[in-house]
Amino acid sequence: MTITVVRAFIFYIMLTAMMKLMGKRQIGEMQVSELVTTVLLSELAVLPVTDTDIPILHGIMPLLLISSIEVIVSLISQKSRNFRVFLNGEPIVLFENGRFDEDNLLVARISTEDVEAQVRINGFKDLGEVQRVMLERTGKMSILPLDSEAMPNQSGE
Amino acid sequence: MNNFIVAIIILAVVIVFSVINSIYICSVCDDITALIDQNKLDEAKKLWEEKKDYISYFVRDAEIDVVSSEAEAIGSDTPIEDGEAVGMRFREAIGEIKDTEEFSLTNIF
């Protein structure tokens, strides 16, 4: 039991340090690679903490490796637009000028009802008030009103 | 940029450390296997006892326990015919550790 407690403490410190190194953003703002890294890190930490049969280095080494790769990938994607697009994709138009883009909806696996719901959540009555709905790289939908003066308070959630 | 440099250093250290460590553990396993093949079971046991603590940082406890229990069976009062069987089991257990650490496509996939 003491070993588990000590290991948990070590992993807490390690993960905190690695998260600080990566400069984590909020979950809703994560890019694909950041999300993958976060999920992997949590899984990597759990196994050696709970299973004392596993050497602690089996958790620490991959943790260090993945964190450092994430930092390097982030920097490369910041410098290179092509790499950024390859890794995280580009914003796509889901609805424009009164028409849904069926191809993009299929690619994003989002239904028309989801778009309509998001429009209502953002304070519009219906799609008639909207010029364009885009799916951003973060997974959030951004909505451009038909009449920019009639723009409601958009939470972006 | 500082984070980037730190990340590069960590990545390099992790990769170099892992590779060197795997090579070292495999070479220790080879040395022990060679001693067993030369029927120098006591020396093989002694070498294992020397390296066991270091290897246990990287290899699962269950595998270490198997090798240790096989090494325990080696003693000066072991009859020759039993000694061969003990040596074979010790060799197999060491081989398992080497198989785990060895860098190969089979292990990766």
Cβ-nearest to A71 among B7, B13, B56:
B7
Name the percent of chain B lying above pLDDT 90. Answer: 25
Instruction: Quickly state the pLDDT bin for A107 (edges 50, 70, 90).
Output: confident
Domain contains B37: yes
Mean residue pLDDT of chain B comes to 85
What does the buried/exposed string (b/e) look like for B85-94 if buried means 16 or more CB atoms within 10 Å of the residue's CB? ebbebbbebb
- How many whole angstroms separate alpha carbon A66 and alpha carbon A34? 10
Higher pLDDT among residues A1 and B95, named by residue: B95
Query: What residue spans in chain A does CATH classification 3.30.240.20 cover?
Result: 90-150
Between the alpha carbon of residue A52 and those of residues A58, B16, B100, the distances in Å are 11, 25, 18
Pairwise CB contact (< 8 Å): B6 & A71: yes
Domain contains B12: no
- How many whole angstroms separate alpha carbon B70 and alpha carbon B60? 16
Residue A157's pLDDT is 42
- How many whole angstroms separate alpha carbon B62 and alpha carbon A49? 16
Pairwise CB contact (< 8 Å): A72 & B59: no
Domain contains B38: yes
**What count of residues does chain B have?**
109
Higher pLDDT among residues A150 and A3, named by residue: A3
Mean pLDDT along residues B36-53: 88
Burial class (CB in 10 A: 0-12, 13-18, 19+), B12: exposed
**Contact residues on chain B for A75, CB-CB shorter than 8 A:** 4
- How many whole angstroms separate alpha carbon B86 and alpha carbon B77? 12
In angstroms, the first-to-last Cα distance of chain A is: 42
Instruction: Quickly state the pLDDT bin for B27 (edges 50, 70, 90).
Output: very high
* Alpha-carbon distance B4 to nearest alpha carbon in chain A (angstroms): 6
Position A154 pLDDT exceeds 60: no
Domain contains B2: no
Instruction: Quickly state the pLDDT bin for A29 (edges 50, 70, 90).
Output: low
* Alpha-carbon distance A43 to nearest alpha carbon in chain B (angstroms): 18
- How many whole angstroms separate alpha carbon A41 and alpha carbon A46? 9
Total number of domains constituting chain B: 1
Instruction: Quickly state the pLDDT bin for B83 (edges 50, 70, 90).
Output: low
Q: What is the ipTM of this complex?
A: 0.78
Mean pLDDT along residues A57-61: 88
Residue B78's pLDDT is 58
Please state the CATH superfamily assignment of the domain spanning residues A90-150 in this structure.
bsu07140 like domains (3.30.240.20)
Pairing of strands A99-100, A141-145: unpaired
Instruction: Quickly state the pLDDT bin for B23 (edges 50, 70, 90).
Output: very high
Domain contains B6: no
Cβ-nearest to B4 among A53, A58, A75:
A75
Cβ-nearest to A65 among B4, B11, B56:
B11
Nearest CA in chain A to B57: A55
Q: What is the pLDDT of residues A5-14, one digit of tens each?
A: 788 888 888 8
Between the alpha carbon of residue A128 and those of residues A120, A125, A154, A157, the distances in Å are 11, 8, 17, 20
- Radius of gyration of chain B measured on its C-alpha atoms: 17
**What count of residues does chain A have?**
157
Residue A17's pLDDT is 82
Domain contains B54: yes
Instruction: Quickly state the pLDDT bin for B79 (edges 50, 70, 90).
Output: low
Domain that holds residue B43: 25-104
* Alpha-carbon distance B81 to nearest alpha carbon in chain A (angstroms): 34
Nearest CA in chain A to B7: A68
Residue A100's pLDDT is 93
Mean residue pLDDT of chain A comes to 83
Between the alpha carbon of residue A85 and those of residues A52, A79, A80, A89, B90, the distances in Å are 41, 12, 9, 4, 54
Pairwise CB contact (< 8 Å): B18 & A61: yes
Cβ-nearest to A55 among B14, B15, B57:
B57
Sheet strand arrangement including A130-135: A99-100, A92-96, A130-135, A141-145
Residues 6+ away with beta carbon under 8 Å from A69? A37, B7, B11
Residue of B5, B11, B53, B55 to mutate, testing the A interface (most A Cβ within 10 Å of its Cβ): B11
Residues 6+ away with beta carbon under 8 Å from A7? A48, A49, A52, A56
pTM for the predicted model, two decimal places: 0.73
Contact status of B3 with chain A (Cβ, < 8 Å):
yes
Position A156 pLDDT exceeds 50: no
DSSP bridge partners of B89: none
